[in-house]
């Protein structure tokens, strides 16, 4: 399988050499051609800096960045075969939609008729072929996002970079656009590199993903691997909603004395068990109720499906689970 993007021990530091801020701290990364790859992590974790390093808007302090095998570490942005879709879309408000999409082709010197024909092709691709004469201000948020996509795709990049492009949309539209983005990526066969802090977006859209923390990659894998087999306590806690159990509690619940991850949907309430605790919080979620039980010094959540009895706050209960649901992460 061809490698689209590769990081070889890449660093990006900011500030004085005596006390640098390590925004990217020794990252090794391989992104396959034609894949939908997500970079997931909290604010300040290094994911957006990595995206800017791929685009050329940032230069690495150390290491090497390759795009389709070519070292582009010092190549300016306009000479890289990549394009970026930003969270704020960055559309020109005084131009109509067609001119926005065709702008990059105009800069390259393409003739008016040819660039408009290409722009119309891209607008049809994102289902906006009847909106070419409108201004961005006349469009909804989802439509503006599609225009930004069309403008990025019209230049035929081999890698499309998406910097939290759905962040400004409401929940329902955001979920609809997730499906559209994934379908578009499959149809075009392009490499999509998607930055987000939203774990649900990353898990539902990506073929594979990297979880970032403090400038480093904490884990790389498929969404299922990341969710079911978190490598660290940070990954278990950040990706999805997991109960991170300390070694003493894991042992008391029948496992070895190691840190463990136990997902709420795999956790059941039980009348009796090796450890009992107090129900301290209830959160109704529609399809079920999230019940938080304090077991000693640790809060453990269980998801009770709709229609099943839910205890009241202050009641005493225990938990049960299948041992295979317990993912061990070491003693330290």
DSSP character at residue 142: H
Residue 74's pLDDT is 94
Residue 33's pLDDT is 96
Report the SS3 class of residue 133: coil
**Mean pLDDT computed over 310-319:** 94
Q: Could you report the per-residue pLDDT of 260-292, keeping only the tens digit for each?
A: 999 999 999 998 889 999 999 999 999 999 999
Share of the chain above pLDDT 70, in %: 100
Same domain, yes or no, for 184 and 81?
yes
Residue 183 CA to residue 133 CA, distance in Å, equals 26
Reply yes or no on whether the pLDDT at 73 is more than 80: yes
Q: Name the domain count of the chain.
A: 2
- Residue 89 binned pLDDT confidence (cut-offs 50, 70, 90): confident
Render the burial of 110-135: b for 16+ CB within 10 Å, e for the rest: beeeebbebbbebbebbebeebbeeb
Mean pLDDT, the chain, rounded, equals 92
Residue 40's pLDDT is 96
71, 64 Cβ separation under 8 angstroms:
yes
Reply yes or no on whether the pLDDT at 173 is more than 80: no
Contacts of residue 258, Cβ cutoff 8 Å, sequence gap at least 6? 247, 250, 328, 329, 330, 331
Same domain, yes or no, for 220 and 145?
yes
Which residues pair with residue 213 across a beta bridge?
A: 216
Contacts of residue 167, Cβ cutoff 8 Å, sequence gap at least 6? 87, 196, 198
**Mean pLDDT computed over 46-59:** 96
Only one residue has tokens 């990006």, namely 12
Helix axes 97-107, 141-153, angle to 10 degrees: 20
Residue 175's pLDDT is 83
Residue 322: give its domain's CATH number: 2.40.50.140
83-92, 214-223, 245-254, 268-277: which range is least confident on average?
Answer: 83-92
Only one residue has tokens 């299922």, namely 224
Residue 330's pLDDT is 87
Same domain, yes or no, for 154 and 187?
yes
Q: Could you report the per-residue pLDDT of 131-171, keeping only the tens digit for each?
A: 999 999 998 888 888 898 899 898 889 999 999 887 767 77
Task: Report which of 235, 61, 8, 58 is spatially closest to residue 161, judged by C-alpha positions.
Answer: 58
Same domain, yes or no, for 189 and 250?
no
Same domain, yes or no, for 52 and 200?
yes
Residue 217's pLDDT is 97
Same domain, yes or no, for 217 and 247?
no
What is the span of the domain harbouring residue 105? Answer: 3-235
Which residues pair with residue 282 across a beta bridge?
A: 291
Contacts of residue 289, Cβ cutoff 8 Å, sequence gap at least 6? 282, 283, 303, 304, 306, 310
Instruction: Report the predicted TM-score, pTM, of the whole model to 2 decimal places.
Output: 0.89
**Of 207, 235, 263, which closes a domain?**
235
**Mean pLDDT computed over 190-219:** 94
Reply yes or no on whether the pLDDT at 86 is more than 90: no
Same domain, yes or no, for 49 and 126?
yes
Residue 164's pLDDT is 86
**Of 235, 264, 298, which closes a domain?**
235
Contacts of residue 66, Cβ cutoff 8 Å, sequence gap at least 6? 3, 5, 6, 8, 72
324, 253 Cβ separation under 8 angstroms:
no
Q: Could you report the per-residue pLDDT of 286-314, keeping only the tens digit for each?
A: 999 999 999 989 999 999 999 999 999 99
**Mean pLDDT computed over 179-185:** 88
Residue 304 CA to residue 289 CA, distance in Å, equals 5
Residue 332 CA to residue 324 CA, distance in Å, equals 21
**Mean pLDDT computed over 165-183:** 81
Residue 240's pLDDT is 81
Q: Which two tokens stand for residue 63?
A: 């290491």
Same domain, yes or no, for 125 and 249?
no
Same domain, yes or no, for 190 and 84?
yes
């Amino acid at each position: 399988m061809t490698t689209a993007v590769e990081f070889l021990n890449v660093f990006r530091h900011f500030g004085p050499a005596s006390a640098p801020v390590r925004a990217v701290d020794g990252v090794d990364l391989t992104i396959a051609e034609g894949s939908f790859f997500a970079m997931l992590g909290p604010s300040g974790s290094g994911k957006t800096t990595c995206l800017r390093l791929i685009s050329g808007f940032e230069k690495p302090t150390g290491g090497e960045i390759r795009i389709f095998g070519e070292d582009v570490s010092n190549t300016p942005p306009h000479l890289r075969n990549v394009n970026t879709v930003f969270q704020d879309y960055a559309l020109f408000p005084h131009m109509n939609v067609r001119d926005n999409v065709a702008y990059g082709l105009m800069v390259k010197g393409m003739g008016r008729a040819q660039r408009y024909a290409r722009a119309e092709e891209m607008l049809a691709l994102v289902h906006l072929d009847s909106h070419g004469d409108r201004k961005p201000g006349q469009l909804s948020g989802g439509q503006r996002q599609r225009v930004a996509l069309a403008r990025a795709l019209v230049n035929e990049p081999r890698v499309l970079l998406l910097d939290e492009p759905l962040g400004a949309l409401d929940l329902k539209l955001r979920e609809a656009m997730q499906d559209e983005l994934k379908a578009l990526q499959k149809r075009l066969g392009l490499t999509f590199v998607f930055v987000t802090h939203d774990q649900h977006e990353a898990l539902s859209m990506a073929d594979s993903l990297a979880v970032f923390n403090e400038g480093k990659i904490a884990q790389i894998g498929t969404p299922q691997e990341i969710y079911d087999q978190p490598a660290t306590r940070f990954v278990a806690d950040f990706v999805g909603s997991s109960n991170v159990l300390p070694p003493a509690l894991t042992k008391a619940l029948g496992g070895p004395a190691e840190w463990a991850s136990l997902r709420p949907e795999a956790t059941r309430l039980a009348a009796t068990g090796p450890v009992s605790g107090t129900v301290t919080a209830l959160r109704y979620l529609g399809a079920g109720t999230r019940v938080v039980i304090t077991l000693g010094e640790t809060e453990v959540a269980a998801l009770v499906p709709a229609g099943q009895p839910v205890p009241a706050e202050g009641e005493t209960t225990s938990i049960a689970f299948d041992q295979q649901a317990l993912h061990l992460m070491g003693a330290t």
